Structure formats: C-alpha cells, structure tokens
C-alpha cells in the first residue's frame, strides 16, 4: 500500500530513467551552447568625403568599414553620430534612401557664442578618412502618404526635407510645393541639387531668401499648398510656431514638423535635483531644463537631441516624482527614470548621477 502523497514504484522507475538518461544529455547540451553575447548595434563608419555646401555648412558622406551595406532608412530618419571626442549628436539623413552604399548628413557650424555646444565645431574639423561611430537610423519625423504636400524648410532645416522631395518628384504623381527660406542664398545648402532634382518643375519651387524676399508671411506660404496637403516643416522655432498658430487651415490636412533646436520650457516650476554620486544639489529654474542645470556642475553629462526623442540623457531616478514630457520612454520605464532634456521634477528629485 502506498502512503498518500508518496510516489509508487512505477513513478520511481520513470524518475530513475529521466535522471540516468536525460539529465546527462541536458548538461552536455548546456556545455555546448554558446553564451549569449552583447548585441553590437554600432555602425563603424569612415568619413569618405567632406563637401562645403553653403556658408558654414558642410556635408559628410559616411561609408561603412569594410564596404558593408548600410541599414535601410526612409525619409525623415536621422543618425546618432558618435564623434571622436565621445560626444553624440543627431543629424538628419539627406541622401538617397535607395543608395545604401553610403549615408550623407549636413551640419551647420554654430559658434559657442551663438549657443553651439561644440558638436558642430567638431564635425567641421573632421576630414576624409576619420573613423566615427553611427547608431540608427531612427525616424521621429516619418514621411507618410497623402493627397499632396507642402514642404517648408528654413536654412539647415532643408536636410530632412530633401529625401521627401526626392521621393515626391521621382516616384509619386501627386501635387506638391516647396518653400525654402534662409538668410541669403549663400547660407542655404543644396540649392543646386534642388534645382537639378526639380528641373522642369520650377513652378513648384519657391526659394525665398530674407535679403531678397523679406520675411515670408504665413498666409503667403499656405496659399501655395495643394488642397488638403500634408504640411512638412523643419526650421527655426519662430517659423514652426507661426505655422502652428494658424493650423487647422482648410488647405492643410495635417502639420508635421521637426525642430533643430531645443524647445522652450513652458509651464515649468523650479525644483531641486540632487546628484546622488557626489551629493551635489542643483537648482533648476522655471524656464530652464534639468539638463542645462546639471551641465552647469557636470559639463560631461551626455545628451543629444534635447527634444525628448533619443534617450541619450536618460538617468535613473532614486527618489522623487517626475513630470514626464519625453517621447522615448516606454510606460514601464517611466517608473524610476527621467529624461533630463525635457522632463521635470514635481518637487525635489534625486538622480543616479
């Protein structure tokens, strides 16, 4: 008679057979299995060409080490470029998505006295043959299908617009218009490339330098839009804000825009950050970002887009409540993390820095 809950003789024999036959096989198999390794998502590239494109603007052509094919991308995508100094910056891809033998980016030189953070100065010092690391591509400015398009670019803001324009001109039989503004023609990159790309379609292209045309009126721009057009805009914040102020508009189905400068802080309240590793306390003003405040005492703090998209400035929160304003953190990440470039504390916050 078998005691309640105890295995009978048949069960014992099955258990012995499993132990004798399968356990050794499982152990041997485990010994042969390769350990899980680190997934390397870095693209090791070489600067193959540096070309002046306008005043204070150069383009860089990047090829992959060993001549390997680069990952596919779509209009609106950008790269995280890790510079030789270790600084990381984001730049729009502005070449042809069909050509994966190389990537092209363009960078305007911004001196420190005009708010530059040093990344553009370092890029302008790169020469052909320099090795860099790229990450991506990623797309926070996706180009979607629509019945027509109005493209509006200000200065270096032409860079994400170029592949969109190339797509519409070469592959789509739909109405479109381009308004391209800047201080002067000499400061506006890729004018010759746009002219070549749109040969025979000049009536769709409106190049309006400030020194020739004056500051364009928003209504003047919108009057060029095809009916129910998607409006894609990249440029300085005053341009974007002026367009946003008049949307919705009967001519425009949707507005899509991308900044190339950090957004201003709206509705902020001052708070205190404590950097746990040193105990340093930093006051964050109502009209500044936590990133700006942290970099006053820790200039090496990593950052990139300053718009809450890339995740470079993510830090671990050890204590305190955070008002999340980013577009990068998944819901499960928001408990215990913070993006310094846009998010704010609701009172004192302690971060693992």
Residue 347 is assigned to a structural domain of this protein: yes
- The CATH number that applies at residue 102 is 2.40.30.10
Q: Is residue 209, in this structure, part of any structural domain at all?
A: yes
Determine what percent of the chain is predicted with pLDDT higher than 70. 85
- 3-state DSSP of the chain: CCCCCCCCHHHHHHHHHHHHHHHHHHHHHHHHCCCCCCCCCCEEEEEEEEEEEECCEEEEEEEEHHHCCCCCCCCCEEEEEECCCCCEEEEECCCCCCCCCCEEEEEECCCHHHCCCCHHHHHHCCCCCCEEEEEEEEECCCCCCCCCEEEEEEHHHHHHHHHHHHHHHHHCCCCEEEEEEECCHHHCCCHHHHHHHCCCCHHHEEEEEHHHHCCCCHHHHHCCCCCCEEEEEEECHHHHHHHHHCCCECCEEEEEEEECCCCCCCCCCCEEEEECCCCEEEEECCCCCHHHHHHHHCCCCCCCCCCCCCCCCEEEEEECCEECCCCCCCHHHCCCEEECCCCEECCCEEECC
For residue 56, the model assigns a pLDDT of: 95
Amino acid 320: pLDDT: 96
The confidence band for 86, taking pLDDT boundaries of 50, 70 and 90, is confident
pLDDT at 39 over 50: no
How confident is residue 17, by pLDDT bands cut at 50, 70 and 90? Answer: low
- Residue 112 or residue 24, greater confidence: 112
100 pLDDT higher than 60: yes
Residues 110 and 48 placed together within one structural domain of the fold: yes
CB 197 within 8 A of CB 96: no
- Asked, for residue 245, whether it belongs to a domain, the answer is yes
Which residue, of 212, 230, 259, is where some domain finishes? 259
Res. 16: pLDDT tops 70: no
Which class for 145: exposed (0-12), middle (13-18), buried (19 or more C-beta within 10 A)? exposed
Residues 104 and 153 occupy one common structural domain: no
- Predicted model pTM: 0.72
Give me the torsion for CA of 244, 247, 253, 256, rounded to 10°.
Answer: 10
Domain boundary (259, 284, 313) is at 259
Domain boundary residue among 82, 110, 139? Answer: 139
User: Of residues 55 and 172, which shows the higher confidence score?
Assistant: 55
Checking if the pLDDT of 19 tops 70, the result is no
Q: Are residues 61 and 96 in the same domain?
A: yes
Q: What is the pLDDT of residue 136?
A: 87
- The rounded distance, in Å, linking the Cα atoms of 91 and 150 is 22
Q: Same structural domain for residues 247 and 278?
A: no
pLDDT for 170 beyond 90:
no
Residue 144 lies in a domain: no
What residues does 181 pair with on adjacent strands? 154, 208
169 and 248 together in one domain: yes
pLDDT above 90 (res 14): no
In a shared domain, residues 76 and 126: yes
Whether 245 and 288 map to the same domain: the answer is no
More confident site: 95 or 302: 95
Question: Does residue 15 lie in a domain region?
Answer: no
Residues 124 and 169 in one domain: no
> Do 193 and 113 share a domain, yes or no?
no
What mean pLDDT value characterizes the chain? 86
Domain count, the chain: 3
pLDDT for residue 72 is more than 80: yes
Confidence of residue 27 (pLDDT cuts 50, 70, 90): very low
Same domain membership, residue 110 and residue 77:
yes
Are 232 and 134 members of one domain? no
* pLDDT of the residue at 35: 43
Q: Would you mind telling me the total number of residues written for the chain in this entry?
A: 353
Q: Residue 301 has what pLDDT?
A: 83
Does residue 225 share a domain with residue 163?
Answer: yes
pLDDT value of residue 234: 95
Q: What pLDDT is attached to residue 307? A: 77
119-142 in b/e burial notation, b at 16+ Cβ within 10 A?
bbebbbebeeebebebbbbbbbbe
pLDDT of residue 335: 92
pLDDT tens sequence across 177-206: 999 999 999 999 999 999 999 999 999 999
Residue 303 maps to which CATH number? 3.10.20.30
Is the confidence at residue 334, as pLDDT, over 80?
A: yes
Whether pLDDT at 4 is above 80: no
- 167: domain CATH number? 3.40.50.80
Over the stretch 198-228, which tens digit does the pLDDT of each residue have?
999 999 999 999 999 998 899 999 999 999 9
Q: pLDDT, tens digit, for every residue of 43-71?
A: 999 999 999 999 999 999 999 999 999 99
Q: What is the per-residue pLDDT for 13? A: 56
Q: Which domain holds residue 173?
A: 149-259
The span from the CA of 271 to the CA of 346, in Å, is: 7
> Of 301 and 161, which is predicted with more confidence?
161
**pLDDT, tens digit (0-9, with 9 covering 90-100), for 282-316:** 999 998 899 989 988 987 787 767 778 777 889 99
């Amino acid at each position: 008679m078998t005691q309640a809950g105890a295995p009978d003789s048949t069960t014992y024999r099955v258990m012995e057979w499993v132990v004798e036959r399968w356990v050794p096989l499982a152990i041997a198999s485990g010994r042969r299995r390769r350990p899980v390794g680190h997934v390397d998502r870095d693209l090791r590239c070489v600067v193959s060409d540096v070309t002046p494109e306008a005043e204070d603007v150069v383009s860089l052509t990047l090829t992959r080490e060993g001549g390997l094919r680069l990952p596919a991308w779509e209009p609106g995508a950008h790269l995280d470029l890790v510079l030789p100094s270790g600084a990381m910056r984001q730049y729009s891809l502005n070449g042809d998505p069909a050509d994966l033998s190389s990537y092209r980016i363009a960078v305007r030189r911004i001196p420190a006295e005009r708010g530059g953070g040093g990344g553009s100065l370092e890029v302008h010092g790169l020469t052909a043959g320099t090795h860099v690391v790229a990450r991506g591509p990623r797309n926070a400015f996706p180009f979607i299908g629509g019945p027509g398009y109005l493209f509006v670019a200000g200065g270096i803001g032409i860079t994400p617009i170029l592949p969109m324009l190339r797509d519409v001109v070469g592959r789509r039989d739909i109405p479109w218009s381009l308004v391209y503004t800047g201080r002067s023609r000499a400061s506006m990159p890729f004018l010759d490339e746009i002219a070549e790309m749109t040969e025979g379609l000049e009536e769709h292209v409106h190049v309006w330098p400030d020194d020739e045309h004056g500051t364009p009126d928003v209504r003047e721009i919108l009057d060029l839009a095809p009916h129910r057009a998607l409006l894609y805009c990249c440029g300085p914040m005053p341009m974007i804000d002026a367009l946003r102020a008049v949307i919705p508009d009967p001519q425009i189905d949707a507005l899509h825009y991308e900044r190339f400068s950090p957004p201003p802080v709206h509705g902020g309240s001052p708070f205190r950050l404590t950097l746990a590793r040193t105990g340093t306390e930093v006051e964050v003003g109502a009209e500044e970002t936590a990133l700006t405040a942290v970099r006053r005492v820790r200039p090496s703090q990593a950052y990139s887009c300053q718009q809450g998209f890339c995740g470079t400035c993510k830090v671990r929160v050890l204590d305190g409540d955070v008002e999340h304003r980013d577009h990068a953190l998944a819901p499960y990440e928001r408990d215990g993390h913070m993006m310094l470039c846009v998010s704010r504390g609701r009172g004192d916050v302690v971060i693992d820095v």
